[in-house]
Structure 1
Amino acid sequence: MNLETRKIEFVQEFLKLQSEDAIARLEKLLEQQKMTPDQKRVAPMTQAELNKRIDQSESDFLNNRYKSSAELLAKYE
């Protein structure tokens, strides 16, 4: 099967999708694929930014503002 045929079949299947979540995930994947290597590079955090994130994460955990890994995995099954 050549690339053009695969593209056409993909688009046909995409048009059949009814799940907004599935469409959003495919849009995100497409955006990631279009990024240049420079855009994919993540800027390093400063020590202060890292400490602020750690403090926020600890606060969220203590106040039950988090999801378990099982909950996250269930969302994508």
Structure 2
Amino acid sequence: MDLEARKIEFVQEFLKLQSEEAISRLEEILRKERKFIEKRKFKPMTQDQLSKRIEQSESDFQNNRFKSSSELLAKYK
């Protein structure tokens, strides 16, 4: 059975469900699967990208372009 046929069969069975609890469990599984797929899309930085970001951060700090942790905390209180 190919993927499309499996999807159709699944949807047909889903539509027959009468249990709210079963539907809730399937919804939770779907949410978890979406999160898992999103995490797989994550692409880590290359060594070069990381080095450039560190250089930029150090430059920002040296040129006083930063906020202290107390300033950040005050902003979100």
TM-score, length-scaled by structure 2: 0.50
Task: Normalising by structure 1, report the TM-score.
Answer: 0.50
The higher radius of gyration belongs to 2
